[in-house]
């Protein structure tokens, strides 16, 4: 068990890992700009599928939509995985959704409260964000070379240490469970669940994964606003389609696919 501020137990992590593809090679870093950037460089130089980059802190942690990810040392989990899925670039969002399922299933086993997925990739508990996913791909028109799957989880991050900008919207597993969480055990479980879900996606296809995803999506049938780069839209959240796009229905019954944006609930989830 790691105490507050103790490093990850790399030896236990490597010894405990039971996976088919992920984590055969692990790069531990005490500090990095961003594990996603580091993993991308590795992938560009031939890094293999399943290589994991895990850091104790990030000086330039990246969030979605150009935001930053607060990454203090030895509090949380910051990791990136190189994946080389046999998917067309169009289907790359399936990897994000698969990862959200693996992440939600992992978080569920560490706290006594139900996690929820906020499309496409935030994990919330009690309406506050506890983890996020940033997938970045490298592709040609018809070929996906690799996907960098980056995951950040707020683990032992006390509210008083959070910058004010996120204090009211973010939470951590420690705050939710009322006790320190073993970051090594969490990392181990997360990589194992990702390995299993990645295999499930390949073996059983996206519809089966989308059904599991929907089990964590509490805004189905609820009115939401989606803030996009150039405009905001409102409607009823119907669910996701075969490519992982969010389907919104407006008052006239017209359905619209949303591929990127921020979802804001206009009524409580189920
Ligand atoms: C988001 O919710 O906006 C996505 C956050 C993703 C953060 C993780 S931390 C590990 C990996 N490296 C990064 O720079 N970002 C991701």
pLDDT digits (tens, 9 = 90+) for 101-157: 999 999 999 999 999 999 988 999 999 999 999 999 999 988 999 999 999 999 999
Q: Tokens at residue 48, please?
A: 């293999």
Tell whether ligand 1 has an atom less than 6 A from the beta carbon of residue 62: yes
CA nearest neighbour of 148 among 139, 160, 135: 135
Could you tell me the distance, in angstroms and rounded to a whole number, from the CA of residue 34 to the centre of ligand 1? 8
Tell whether ligand 1 has an atom less than 6 A from the beta carbon of residue 56: no
User: Phi-psi category of 6—alpha, beta or left, where left has phi over 0 and alpha has psi -120 to 50?
Assistant: beta
Q: Express each pLDDT in 36-65 by its tens digit.
A: 999 999 999 999 999 999 999 999 999 988
Do 108 and 115 form a contact (C-beta atoms < 8 A)? yes
How high is the pLDDT of residue 155? 98
132 contact partners, CB below 8 Å, separation of at least 6: 63, 64, 69, 121, 122, 123, 151, 152
Q: Express each pLDDT in 17-43 by its tens digit.
A: 999 999 999 999 999 999 999 999 999
Test site for ligand 1: of 37, 55, 63, most ligand atoms within 8 A of the Cβ: 63
Could you tell me the distance, in angstroms and rounded to a whole number, from the CA of residue 263 to the centre of ligand 1? 18
Q: Tokens at residue 102, please?
A: 């693996």
Strand partners for 246 = 240, 258
Cα 126 to Cα 61, 198, 247: the distances in Å are 24, 27, 24
Do 241 and 90 form a contact (C-beta atoms < 8 A)? no
178 contact partners, CB below 8 Å, separation of at least 6: none
Q: Is 119 exposed, middle or buried (0-12, 13-18, 19+ CB in 10 A)?
A: buried
Mean pLDDT estimate for the chain: 94
221 contact partners, CB below 8 Å, separation of at least 6: 236, 237, 238, 270
Test site for ligand 1: of 60, 61, 79, 83, most ligand atoms within 8 A of the Cβ: 61
**Largest Cα–Cα distance of the chain, in whole Å?**
58
């Amino acid at each position: 068990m790691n105490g507050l501020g103790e490093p990850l137990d790399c030896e236990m992590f490597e010894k405990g890992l039971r996976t088919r593809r992920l984590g055969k090679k692990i790069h531990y870093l005490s500090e990095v700009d961003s594990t996603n950037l580091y993993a991308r460089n590795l992938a560009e130089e031939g890094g293999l599928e399943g290589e994991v980059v895990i850091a104790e802190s990030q000086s330039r942690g990246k969030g979605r939509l150009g935001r930053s990810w607060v990454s203090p040392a030895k509090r949380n989990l910051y990791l990136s995985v190189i994946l080389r899925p046999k998917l067309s670039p169009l289907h790359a969002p399936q990897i994000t959704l698969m990862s959200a399922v693996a992440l939600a299933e992992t978080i569920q086993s560490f706290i006594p409260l139900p996690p929820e997925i906020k499309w496409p990739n935030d994990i919330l508990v009690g309406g506050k964000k506890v983890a996020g996913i940033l997938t970045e791909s490298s592709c040609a028109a018809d070929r996906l070379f690799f996907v960098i799957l980056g995951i950040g989880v707020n683990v032992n991050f006390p509210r008083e240490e959070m910058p004010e900008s996120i204090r009211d919207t973010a939470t951590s597993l420690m705050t939710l469970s009322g006790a320190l969480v073993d970051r090594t055990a969490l990392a181990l479980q997360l990589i194992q669940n990702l390995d299993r879900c990645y295999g499930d996606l390949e073996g059983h296809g996206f519809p089966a994964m989308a059904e599991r995803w929907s089990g964590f999506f509490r805004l189905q049938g609820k009115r939401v606003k989606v803030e996009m780069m150039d405009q905001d839209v409102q409607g009823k959240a119907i669910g996701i389609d075969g490519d992982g796009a969010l389907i919104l229905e407006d008052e006239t019954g017209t359905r619209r696919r949303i591929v990127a944006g921020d979802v804001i609930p206009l009524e409580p989830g189920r």
